[in-house]
Structure 1
Amino acid sequence: MEAFTKLTGLVAPVDRVNVDTDAIIPKQFLKRIERTGFGQFLFFEWRFDEQGNNIADFSLNQPRYKGASVLISRANFGCGSSREHAPWAIMDYGFKCVIAPSFADIFYNNCFKNGILPIKLSEEQVEDLFQRTAAHEGYQLNVDLENKTITDNEGLHIDFDLDEHRRQFLLQGLDDIGLTLQHEDEISAYEEKHSSHLFA
C-alpha cells in the first residue's frame, strides 16, 4: 500500500448527507474480485441517467472537478452495508482523502486499510470548505498527515485529530498484511520451532 504523508489536491464536493455504500458503488458492480476497476462506477446512479448519459449537475461530471483527489461531503458518509468495495471505488477514481463531519464506523476503518485518509471536521468547518470550493474554481487543499493540518492558499489553517495507530498505518503504507509482515522473522522462527516438534 502506498504511504500517505502529504497531499495537495483539487477538491470535489458531494453535498449530501448519509451517503451510503450502495450509492458509492452499486451492488450490480460487486462481481469483480480485484480492487481495481471500480472507479468508473463510483456514484454511478448519481453520475449517469438510465441511458448512460452524464447527469450534468452532479459535481463529478463537471469539468472543474476533473482530477480531484480530495472529496468533501456531509455527515454519516459511508453508511449502509460494510462492503469494502466502497473505498476501493473511491481510491480507484482518484480520491486519496475524504473530509466529512462523521463517517460510518466500518467504512471509516476500511479507508485506512486501503490507503485513504478520512478526516472528521466540525459541521462548520466542512461548510466553510464547501463555500470555498464553490467560490474558487480549481480550489485545492494541502493535507499534511505528518503534522495533522489542512491548509489552502487563502489563509485557511485547520488542525485535525486522528488516532495515532491509524496515522502510522497510513504514514508507513501498511495494511493488515503489511503490519503482519513486519514480524515475518518472528513468525518464521515460531513456525520452524513448532514444525520441528511435529515431525520429530
Structure 2
Amino acid sequence: MKPFLKVKSVTAPLPISHIDTDQILPARYMKTLSRSGLGKHLFHDWRFEADGSEVADFVLNRPLWRNAEILLTHENFGCGSSREHAVWALDDFGIRAIIAPSFGSIFATNCVKNGVLPVPLSWAACAQLMKEVATLPDAEITVDLTETRVTAPSGTDYPFDIQADIRNALLSGKDDISRTLEHDDALAAFERRQGRIQ
C-alpha cells in the first residue's frame, strides 16, 4: 500500500453522523475483487440522480472538493456491515484521510489495512474545522502522521492518538502480509524446528 506521511489538501465537509458502509458504497457495487474502479461508485446514491446525472450540490461533485484528499465528517463514520470495498472506493476516489470524532471499529481497521488514515478528533475540534472550511472553503488542512497532528487553515494544531504499530505500518506503507514476510527467515526456522519443512 502507499505510505502515508503527510497530506495537505482542501477538505470536503460532510456534516452527517452515522454514515454507514452501504451509503459509502452500496452493496450492488461489491461484485468485484479488484480494488480499482470503485471510486466512481463512492456515495453513489448521494452523488447521482436516478438517470445517472450528478447531484450538483453534493460535496464531492462540487468543483472545489472534487479532488479533495481529506474528508471531514461527523461521528460514527463507517458504521454498519464489515465492508472493505467501502474503503477501496474511498481510496480509489483519492481520499487519503478521514477526520471524524469516531469511526465504526471494523471500518477503521479496514482503513489502516489499505493505507487510508482515520483521524479521531474531538467533537469540538471537528466542529471548529467545519467552521473554518465553511468560512474558507479553498483553504487546506494538513494531516501529518509523522507528527500525529492536524493543522487547521487558521494554523491551530490538533494532536491525535494512534497506536504505534498502526502508525508505523502506515508510515512504511507495509500491509500485514508485507510485515509478516519481513520475518520469513524466523518463520521458516520455526517450521523446520516443528518438522514441517526440510
- TM-score grouping bracket, smaller chain normalisation: over 0.9
User: Which residue identity does 1:71 align to in structure 2?
Assistant: L
What do the CA deviations read for 1:89-135 (whole angstroms, capped 9, x no partner)? 11100000000010010001111100011011111110111111111
C-alpha deviation, 1:153, in angstroms: 4.3
Q: Which residue of 1 aligns with 2:180?
A: 180
Q: Which residue of 2 aligns with 1:78?
A: 78
RMSD across aligned positions (CA): 1.3
Matched position secondary structure for 1:141:
strand
- Decide which moves more: 128-137 or 152-161: 152-161
Identity percentage of aligned residues: 41
1:54 & 1:2 partners in 2: Cα distance?
Answer: 30
User: Which residue identity does 1:18 align to in structure 2?
Assistant: H
User: Which residue identity does 1:39 align to in structure 2?
Assistant: G
Matched position secondary structure for 2:142:
strand
Q: Unaligned regions of 5+ residues in structure 2, if any?
A: none
Structure 1 residue 30 and structure 2 residue 30: aligned? yes
User: Which residue identity does 1:134 align to in structure 2?
Assistant: A
User: Which residue identity does 1:132 align to in structure 2?
Assistant: E
Q: Which residue of 2 aligns with 1:157?
A: 157
Q: TM-score of the superposition, structure 2-length normalised? A: 0.94
Matched position secondary structure for 1:146:
coil
Structure 1 residue 51 and structure 2 residue 46: aligned? no
Matched position secondary structure for 1:51:
coil
Paired residues, what number? 196
C-alpha deviation, 1:188, in angstroms: 3.0
Q: Unaligned regions of 5+ residues in structure 1, if any?
A: none
Runs of 4+ in 1 over 6 A off after TM superposition: none
